[in-house]
Amino acid sequence: MSSSTEPSTATKVSEPAPIASEEKPKPCCACPETKQARDACMLQSSNGPIECAKLIEAHKKCMAQYGYEV
């Protein structure tokens, strides 16, 4: 019996670090967590741009880390 110890590859869940352009995801797939929260807020609020401003800014910040200007 052999014991296999695999190193943990993703234990930290935080904002992604800037990555090389060849590994850059498409804009639609870059920040799914912030996109989902922003979209849900926009659909459920009567005045989305004002009520969801913090979520919109968080998504813009995430996208900027991948090199996208929104």
**Residues marked as binding for Cu cation?**
28-29
Which residues participate in the annotated binding site? 28-29
Q: How many CB atoms lie within 10 A of CB 40?
A: 12
Crossing angle for the helix pair 32-44 and 53-65, to the nearest 10 degrees: 160
Show Cβ contacts of residue 64 under 8 Å, excluding neighbours closer than 6 positions: 70
